Amino acid sequence: MDFWLKLATALFLGLMVVLLLPVAKRMQQQSPEAKPGDWHAALVPVALVVLFVLLLVRCS
Amino acid sequence: MNPTNIRVVQPATATLATNKVIRNTYTLLAMTVLFSALTATLATVVQVGPGLSLVSTIVAIGLLWLVLPRTEDSAAGVGVVFAVTGLLGFGLGPMLTYYLSIPGGSQTVAMAFGGTAVIFGGLSLYALTTRRDFSFMGGFLFTGLLVLLAASIASLFFSVPALSLALSAGIIMLFSGFILFDTSRMIHGGETNYLRATVSLYINILNIFTSLLHLLGIGSDD
């Protein structure tokens, strides 16, 4: 990728960061507290995704 | 009207509305994925360059941020969703052209597509059947997204293979979380607009697909 394309991509990604910053702040303030077992219920399927991806990488 | 009746009627109405949002979202999502596959194929056939691909992606994000919020409650919004997803699909052209040109590339692309379908299907089924509320993840996911965007900027200028690998793995994990979060928002009434829900899920799928393709491309390149 040439320098100007990298620069344009970086500016675009930087703009995304600027646009998403207030959304992230609002989400942090408004998100409800996790109840016991909530993180476990979310992390188990994500861990299974990781194992599945590792399996795919090994098969490729 | 008796207030007791209102309490009985409201949950049933809400359930019907939720089911309608879910049904419409998945129908439109299937159509937009198909449409973006067509635009991606077109971009591959005409050998679109990285510059046009970037422009296509920027226009798509512009439509998403500026036009969709104004049209999301009208029929025109459906056209905007197709435009956004079509342009994002078109933007995949150079990446797909590159992977299809390397030995065993078509197999890698097919594996990434199939893997993404399995991940999306599995996580959606999990969120829909358990009906758990994953809204508590919102702050964590959006902060994680900012971190990954910043790391992506760094990886553009510092060609470190380990960073690139870690980014792809991180994107797959983060957008897997977003699938749970977005699906749960539809179920629990946090998202009542099927156009917004479709675009959110589409972006999750797109990011998982591109990162999986990257990881499988590295994995197959001995």
Does the pLDDT at position B6 exceed 70? no
Angle at B198 (CA atoms; ends B78, B44), nearest 5 degrees? 80
What number is the average pLDDT over the span B82-105? 95
Whether A17 and B150 have beta carbons less than 8 Å apart is answered as yes
Nearest to A49 among B57, B173, B220 (CB): B173
CA–CA distance, B208 with B108 (Å, rounded to integer): 14
Does the pLDDT at position B105 exceed 50? yes
A–B: how many Cβ contacts below 8 A? Answer: 120
Predicted confidence at residue A59, as pLDDT, reads 87
Q: How far is B23 from chain A (nearest CA, A)?
A: 23
CA–CA distance, B3 with B26 (Å, rounded to integer): 35
pLDDT confidence bin for B1, thresholds 50/70/90: very low
Predicted confidence at residue B220, as pLDDT, reads 67
Name, in order, each residue with C-beta under 8 angstroms of A29's C-beta and a sequence gap of 6 or more.
B139
The DSSP output letter for B2 is -
Chain B hits for A58, Cβ within 8 Å: 219
Does the pLDDT at position B3 exceed 70? no
Q: Locate B120 and state its tokens.
A: 């999306």
Chain-centroid distance of CA B3 in Å reads 42
What number is the average pLDDT over the span B195-212? 97
The DSSP output letter for B137 is G
pLDDT tens profile B16-74: 888 899 999 999 999 999 999 999 999 999 999 999 999 999 999 999 999 999 999 99
Q: How far is B124 from chain A (nearest CA, A)?
A: 10
Nearest to A17 among B57, B133, B146 (CB): B146
pLDDT confidence bin for A4, thresholds 50/70/90: confident
What average pLDDT does the structure give for chain A?
92
Predicted confidence at residue B196, as pLDDT, reads 96
Does the pLDDT at position B205 exceed 90? yes
pLDDT tens profile A27-42: 999 889 999 999 999 9
The domain spans of chain A are 1-31
CA–CA distance, B145 with B162 (Å, rounded to integer): 19
CA–CA distance, B206 with B100 (Å, rounded to integer): 18
Predicted confidence at residue A3, as pLDDT, reads 85
Predicted confidence at residue A1, as pLDDT, reads 63
User: Which of the residue ranges A9-18, B5-14, B171-180, B198-207 would you say has the lowest mean pLDDT?
Assistant: B5-14
Contact B145 A6 (CB under 8 A): no
Residue with tokens 């990604």: A13
Q: Locate B68 and state its tokens.
A: 């969709």
Predicted confidence at residue B161, as pLDDT, reads 86
Predicted confidence at residue B37, as pLDDT, reads 96
Does the pLDDT at position B8 exceed 70? no
3-state secondary structure at position A3: helix
Q: Note which residues in 125-144 of chain B have CB less than 8 A from chain A.
A: 126, 130, 132-143
Contact B111 A56 (CB under 8 A): yes
Predicted confidence at residue B210, as pLDDT, reads 97
Q: How far is A1 from chain B (nearest CA, A)?
A: 8
Whether B217 and B161 have beta carbons less than 8 Å apart is answered as no
Give the relative orientation of helices B93-101 and B194-220 as an angle to the nearest 10 degrees: 30
CA–CA distance, B197 with B88 (Å, rounded to integer): 16
pLDDT tens profile B141-169: 999 999 999 999 999 888 888 899 999 99
Q: Locate B71 and state its tokens.
A: 């049209």
Residue with tokens 């933007």: B91
Predicted confidence at residue B5, as pLDDT, reads 47
Nearest to B139 among A14, A27, A49 (CB): A27
State the alpha helices, DSSP H only, in chain B: 3-45, 50-62, 68-71, 76-90, 93-101, 105-130, 138-157, 161-187, 194-220
Q: Does this complex have an ipTM over 0.90?
A: yes
Does the pLDDT at position A17 exceed 60? yes
Predicted confidence at residue A26, as pLDDT, reads 93
DSSP state letters, B176-218: HHHHHHHHHHHHTTS---HHHHHHHHHHHHHHHHHHHHHHHHH
| Greater model confidence, B39 or B8 | B39
Q: Locate B80 and state its tokens.
A: 């905007």
